[in-house]
Amino acid sequence: MIVVADTSVLINLYRVGQGGLIQQLFEEVVIPPEVAWEFARLAGRTRRFAGLTIPNGIRQQAPTTQPAAVRSAMGLDAGEAAAWSLAVGIHADAILIDERRGYEIAVRLGLRTIGILGLLLRAKSVGLVPAVKPILDALEHDAGFWLTESLRKKVLHAASEN
């Protein structure tokens, strides 16, 4: 499975030491240069992400076109617009995103989406992590990942960690 990643999924998972899951779950992970730049900017300016780097094995590729749905979308930053354009251009199997706005645009583009929570559930189901709860705790505490209590309960229920 080939996936294109947006910055948020990458930087949050790498912040809590779980970034390797991305490469274990997917055959190929691709990002546009704008996502690499945004990752580096956050790692250089945001204390909680200080020192993080994009690991080897994540391929960078610039999109060659920008679909009309991306051009007309309001509020996308450069990294998001490039990620969606790249996903369409290379016929990616999915895009790794967490933002609601991004999800809606991906649906309009016909892209399958996977967020951090879905990725963690998938990792547990194939035995890559023994439990989701400690990772959720770390995401919230260390990465500043915001999660409603009801969604947290749903994820833990889906992971059989009630």
76 or 7, which is more confident:
7
CA distance 112 to 133: 25
Domains of the chain and CATH, by start: 2-117 (3.40.50.1010)
CA distance 74 to 65: 18
pLDDT tens readout for residues 13-46? 999 999 999 999 999 999 999 999 999 999 999 9
**pLDDT of residue 72 exceeding 80:** no
Query: In 1-77, where does DSSP find H-type helix?
Result: 7-15, 20-25, 33-45, 68-71
- pLDDT at residue 114, rounded to an integer: 94
- pLDDT at residue 98, rounded to an integer: 85
pLDDT tens readout for residues 98-150? 877 777 778 877 889 999 999 999 999 999 999 999 999 999 999 999 999 99
- pLDDT at residue 123, rounded to an integer: 97
**pLDDT of residue 151 exceeding 90:** yes
The verdict on pTM exceeding 0.75 is yes
**pLDDT of residue 74 exceeding 70:** no
